[in-house]
Amino acid sequence: MILGFDADDTLWHNEDGFQASHREFEQLLAEWADPETIDDQLFTIESRNLPRYGYGVKAYTLSMIECAIAVSGGQIGADAISTMLDLGHALLDRPIELLDGVEEVLDELGRHQLMIITKGDLYHQLLRIENSGLQHRFWQSEVVAHKDPSTYQRVLKLHGVAPEEFVMVGNSVPSDVLPVLAVGGRAVHIPYHVTWTHERHDGDHGAPTLNNMRELPDLLSDWGLH
């Protein structure tokens, strides 16, 4: 069996940093709009920029600046924009904090071939994998631009992995669960305590949901895979 792991919010904390940063962003714009208006505007701008920016901190920082100019009617000052650049730098420079149980469970699963399959900014994700101290535990690490069925098919084929021997573990239903089920693999959903608006998914998805990474080995045993 080959086990694929998402990285952000599956192996290490990520979205909580974005949300803390977002609270500071709301403060910077407090004289022009309430948090709800700011959130709506940022969501609209991020969605519009997604086809050209893709995902990641740089995309987020640029959309924040565009949103600040729009919400303030062009009144936002250079100091506040400088603070937004600093918020982006802080997210990029943030030290890796592993989620509870990750190291122990990777140790326990070490006799399987483990892969990281993560979406986002290539440069930043490789840096984080390197800084996580986990790199040597993984057989392969793939940073992809999209987590859609054709990307999973390409990555599995490239590494000679048959979908029926592949299990993907991740916190995002649209990115880590649904496209893997669609190509004939298995998926395990381990929600993170907060979810980015663009990754939210309601409704049943047909994969088991765990509370914590520590529950993974037992599930794999139940499946006869561990």
Q: Which residues bind its own copies (CB under 8 A)?
A: 52-55, 58-59, 61-62, 65-66, 69, 72, 74-79, 81-82, 85, 88-89, 92-93, 121-124, 126-127, 143-145, 158
Q: Tell me, what amino acid is at 40?
A: D
For residue 187, which amino acid is it? Answer: A
The CA–CA distances, whole Å, from 118 to 102, 106, 170, 182 equal 16, 17, 10, 18
**Shortest CB 127 distance to its own copies, Å:** 8
**Cβ closest to its own copies, residue 65 vs residue 109:** 65
CA 217-144-209 angle, to 5 degrees, is 30
Q: Which is nearer to its own copies, 94 or 112 (CB)?
A: 94
CB of 160 to its own copies, least distance (A): 11
The answer to whether 211 touches 102, Cβ cutoff 8 Å, is: no
Paired tokens of 58: 């740089």
| Minimum CB distance to its own copies, residue 148 (Å) | 12
Q: Smallest gap, in angstroms, from Cβ of residue 193 to its own copies?
A: 26
**Angle CA(4)–CA(7)–CA(13) in degrees, nearest 5?**
145
In the complex, minimum distance from the CB of residue 62 to its own copies, in angstroms, rounded to a whole number:
6
Give 146 or 193: the residue with its C-beta nearer to its own copies.
146
What's the closest the beta carbon of residue 203 comes to its own copies, in angstroms?
A: 28
CA-CA-CA-CA torsion sign (13, 18, 21, 22) = negative
Query: Helices 35-53 and 15-28 sit at what angle, rounded to 10 degrees?
Result: 120
Residue among 89 and 200 whose Cβ is closer to its own copies: 89
193, two tokens: 């305590």
CA 103 and chain centroid, separation: 18
CB closer to its own copies out of 154 and 200? 154
Name the residue nearer to its own copies (CB basis): 5 or 60. 60
Contact 179, 150 (CB under 8 A): no
